[in-house]
Chain A
């Protein structure tokens, strides 16, 4: 999966318009990145990537790139 595809998936989960996110985007600057979005991220990682994302790991994410790297 390319970075562009992962970003599109992330934008879909966060209900953002396409093209909103860049790898360097800081998560703290995204209004939609709230507890509900974090929960959606946990589910997406499990469903789409078979990866278990913990609450502790989520709090370590600072930028979109951190999330993309976890999707590897």
Chain B
């Protein structure tokens, strides 16, 4: 895979985002990072191979702020070749504590911001021919998880949106897909599960993912494949990278 000469926007500089940025940069891409925490992006930028990488602060919980920011990015950096949406919050809450404002916040960050970025980046003049988009979903979108209604619903919404948008944007030559990671060794996952350490639920979950816990690099590999021409006939679908969890 070779992304030389390609400009890729990547949202989220966490575990999966950082690993994906590093891989894509090592394959020649120029990376534009978006995250609400500038220090985190600068840390990732310092690890990237190649030149011309940059970052912009973006608060994905304020969906209205995305359009003007992307207009500025296109003006300063030119049209882009790819977009990867890794930003998201784990959001573990029992139903009785999941009020509307909480649900809306999760949907804003995990889903509405994704659609908004796709809307803005697929306007004429914002993208180059062969534009590719990948969103990070979750196996929870298929199997659900106790206390993760908002999170799983947001990831299911992303999968459904990608199925629709792939059809709508195909005439423009744009492909869209999602990757659904199983349990992955990231700071977000650790935060979401540490109160359950040693419980039966956690042990059963671990057993179902019989190839073991994914590393962020495993997810990055799938994203790179979906952004590349190797997957030129793949669109509107979700690729699980889950150590066997969905089929166990």
Please tell me which stretch of A1-9, A20-28, A32-40, A62-70 contacts chain B, meaning at least 4 of its Cβ atoms lie within 8 angstroms of it: A32-40
**Are B195 and A40 in touch, CB under 8 angstroms?**
no
* Assembled-state Cα–Cα distance A39/B93 (Å): 7
Closest to B201 in A: A35
Additional pairs, 11, CB under 8 Å, beyond known A35-B201, A43-B97, A55-B195: A15-B96, A35-B199, A36-B146, A40-B94, A40-B96, A42-B195, A54-B195, A55-B194, A55-B196, A55-B197, A56-B194
**Interface majority SS (helix, strand, loop, mixed), chain A:** helix
Is B147 an interface residue when CB atoms closer than 8 A count as contact? yes
Closest to B92 in A: A39
Known contacts A35-B201, A36-B147, A44 near B195 by CB under 8 Å: no
CB proximity of A9 to chain B, nearest CB, Å: 12
Chain B residues positioned under 8 Å from A16 (CB to CB): none
CB proximity of B90 to chain A, nearest CB, Å: 12
Identify which of residues 172-197 in chain B touch chain A, using a CB-to-CB cut-off of 8 Å.
194-197
Chain B residues positioned under 8 Å from A42 (CB to CB): 195
Closest to B93 in A: A43
Closest to A34 in B: B199
How many contacts A-B (CB < 8 Å)?
31
Identify which of residues 121-180 in chain B touch chain A, using a CB-to-CB cut-off of 8 Å.
146-147
Report which B residues bind A (CB closer than 8 A). 92-94, 96-97, 146-147, 194-197, 199, 201
Closest to B101 in A: A47
CB proximity of A61 to chain B, nearest CB, Å: 12
The 6 closest A-B pairs by CB, nearest first: A55-B195, A55-B194, A43-B97, A40-B94, A35-B199, A38-B195
**Are B94 and A43 in touch, CB under 8 angstroms?**
yes
**Are A40 and B194 in touch, CB under 8 angstroms?**
no
* Assembled-state Cα–Cα distance A43/B93 (Å): 7
A-B residue pairs in contact (CB < 8 Å), sample of 8: A35-B195, A35-B201, A36-B94, A42-B195, A44-B97, A54-B195, A55-B195, A55-B197
Chain B residues positioned under 8 Å from A39 (CB to CB): 92-94, 147, 195
CB proximity of B46 to chain A, nearest CB, Å: 28
